[in-house]
Structure 1
């Protein structure tokens, strides 16, 4: 219990200490006008209140990642707590803050545009394809998984296809309508439900004196899976997730001023870390008896464990409410995944999104592709998701480091997590059966060499960018509000 409480405290302290350090390094300017005003179109670009943006950001980046991931990560034992705390504060929150703030400085640009500006034009095309594939996978899976959960919740009375159709209709509306019509209206309430239910679970763990294990570096994974690199891909959303880099620019287009960035981007990630900590603790403490966590995952799945934990700690009524809220989580990440994909494609082919027909022309092929994907078995493709997700985080961290290097600021806050995750992602794909299937010792060497090479090219390219004084932000000095 002490490790759990100290971990929660460290996450909160991290927001008020390291968060301020990162903010000071970036140097936000309250007086600098944001894209919500300079590019206001009433659809994607429009100012919203900081608290609304915070809750929208939280519910967008959360999905089921900070719940299902930590439950699976709990198999490794209390060592998972270390990654959640250190990863969240020094990697995930830095990643989310820099991605969101650099996007604000560059007109609300998404990751492919930022990659093109800071890492070279070729990277723009690579990251664009990478991002669209990642978002399509997320959007498609987050249709199928909640539809199945709703089917189970209704005891099979309503056919699963009905839920699939309804979710797709909702996704389409949330993708093409102005952000303040659906997402800006219901997300803050869903974010509040997520926070309240999670605090309820955490409070119940403390009140009941749940036997949460104390800090240990022992690997308790029943299959003997290696902590490195697997743990750092298993627990992603609760510590560091590249998916967030596709979501933060959505809110960068609705942020009122730059000084709100730490609260919105850094704060939402810390909140997600706390959510991950609570669910990891619950999984470790409540399922360490005759029927182990591993056995339950194999029999009832992570969704079933969420249901067991919720009803066990909160009772049938409040537990059911919590479960319903968790069912909504993948839906609220799926819709922003499609919305983000629409915005990325629109930026890439330079099609304004003020007219609804333009939005439909881009959204339609996305949904047709997603519908096709729901009819085929893309299990193998999905196995690449964790690697693709963390590889996206690697790209975002190197972009953040490049921005800070050119601006002559402390770029090491991004370099250190970029090094670690570059090593992690490259070692994983070298060792994994879905990758090169090399022995672990060879994979570690491969990961080390790859990381050194990436670092070499980064500093070479960064020095050239600084020498050429490439622009790192849009010029908004001449902007005047439209008084018409």
Structure 2
């Protein structure tokens, strides 16, 4: 249990200390009008208080991610605590801060536009496709489960529940951000926090002992930690999906100094939630073998329900149902909303006049229709690719942040180091994973690190080229 408390303290300390370092490196200017005012449109660009933005951001980026992902990651044992803490402070929260603040600095620009500005058009086209596919899959996955649960506990049929949820998606994506999302999502964000705190308190006061990190139990089991753990636990450590969500809130910030509380702070909160559920997964079933059996019997949803109802009784059952229904829905709808923003922004680059309610509706339907179709079929084989796709998006965002800092003569290693780390993760994973090339572990490691070296060499080349350009400009001035 000592390890658990230390991990919580480290996450809080990370926010209190390292977030200020990140903010200082980025450099804020509260005298500069934010897009919420300079581009106010009563739809997406609407000023909101930072506390409301923080709760909405937490709900948008979290959903069931820090619950289900952390429970699956608990199979790797207490080493999951290390990844959540280190990954969240130095990679995930940095990633979220830069995805939000770069959007704010560039008039609320979406993730692909930011990538194109700092990594080139070719990479922009690639991530546009990848991020849209990711959000369609997320929306579909985060609808099927709630619809099935609604059908089981009520007289409403699965298809009726599905149509109802997608009808809500359209409303949430088309209405002004402060009308639906701004009013009810802070409440749901509070429910997510209350649920996690309740589980943590119940765990502490039961006779079950949260495992500590020791050499004997660091990683029980046969699956290799690298790179599987870093893909299994994404929400709560680092998740590329967040970079598609942060621009939604970036368009509502009243001043730049709110960014640290909203973007970095929400990620730390998600890390704490993931830490709590990872601890619950390791502890409740008496170890990783018991957790594995529970997952095999009913999946992460059943595990959440059993933990919640046993530890919290009737309240836990209500929270579990609310969590499994509300949390994924409130992530799916913002995935649709951000997809709509990306499509409109892409069209605006090719056509001079792209505006009006008509294009907003069309852009929303472009992603809603395939998401609805996927939610009605067995698309589990596609879902296996979401984890890797998600981390590729995160890696590209970190490289975008690194190039922004480099071009502005700031401490680019802040994003560059975690970007190199995540490059090694995704390059190795795709060759080793069954949904990838399914090669042997040693071969995958060799290929993955070889590709990572090439990426690092590209990074070094960018640094040298920037230095030469600076020296050249200096000599011209002199």
Q: TM-score, normalised by structure 1?
A: 0.93
**Residue number in structure 1 paired with 2:203:** 205
Name the stretch that deviates more: 158-167 or 80-89. Answer: 158-167
How far 1:468 sits from its partner (Å)?
6.8
Q: What's 2:293 paired with?
A: 295
The DSSP-based 3-state class of the residue aligned with 1:17 is helix
Q: 1:151: Cα distance to partner?
A: 2.5
1:463–1:100 CA distance, 2 compared to 1 (3 A) = farther
Give the counterpart of 2:260 among 251, 259, 262. 262
What secondary structure sits across from 2:109 in the alignment? coil
Cα offset, 1:459, TM superposition: 3.6
Distance 1:290 1:138, change over 3 A: closer
Counterparts of 1:56-455 in structure 2, within 5 Å, are 56-154=56-154, 157-216=155-214, 218=217, 220=219, 222=221, 224-288=222-286, 292-350=290-348, 355-455=356-456
Q: Is the 8 A contact 2:75 2:288 kept in 1?
A: no
SS at match of 2:30: coil
Structure 1 range deviating more: 445-454 or 225-234: 445-454
Q: Is the 8 A contact 2:202 2:311 kept in 1?
A: yes
1:405–1:466 CA contact under 8 A, matched in 2: no
SS in 2 for 1:292: helix
Uncovered stretches (5+) of structure 2, i.e. residues with no partner: 471-478
Distance 1:221 1:168 in 2: 41
Cα gap change, 1:464/1:348 in structure 2, threshold over 3 Å: closer, same or farther?
A: farther
Considering only aligned residues, what root-mean-square deviation do their CA atoms show, in Å?
Answer: 1.8
Kept in 1: contact 2:304–2:320 (CA 8 A): no
Q: How many residues align?
A: 466
Whole-angstrom distance in 2 between the partners of 1:290 and 1:85: 20
Residue 301 of structure 1 deviates from its aligned partner by: 1.1
Cα distance, 1:211–1:460 mapped onto 2, change above 3 Å: same
CA shift digits 1:20-79 (9 cap, x unpaired): 111111111111111111111111111111001000000000011100011011111101
Unaligned runs of 5+ in 1: 470-484
Q: Alpha-carbon deviation of 1:440?
A: 1.2
Deviations, residues 437-457 of structure 1 (Å, cap 9, x unaligned) = 221111111111111111222
SS at match of 1:304: helix
Find the aligned partners of 1:231 and 1:281 in 2 and give their Cα distance: 15
* Distance in structure 2 (CA, Å) of the matches to 1:434 and 1:326: 26
**In the alignment, is the contact (CA less than 8 A) between 1:219 and 1:227 conserved in 2?**
no
Contact kept? 2:146, 2:324, Cα under 8 Å: no
Distance 1:25 1:348 in 2: 30
Name the CA distance, whole Å, in 1 between partners of 2:194 and 2:434.
40
User: Which stretch shifts more, 429-438 or 107-116?
Assistant: 429-438
**Structure 1 residues 172 and 353: alpha-carbon distance in aligned structure 2, compared to 1, 3 A threshold:** farther
CA contact (8 A) 1:42 1:354 kept: no
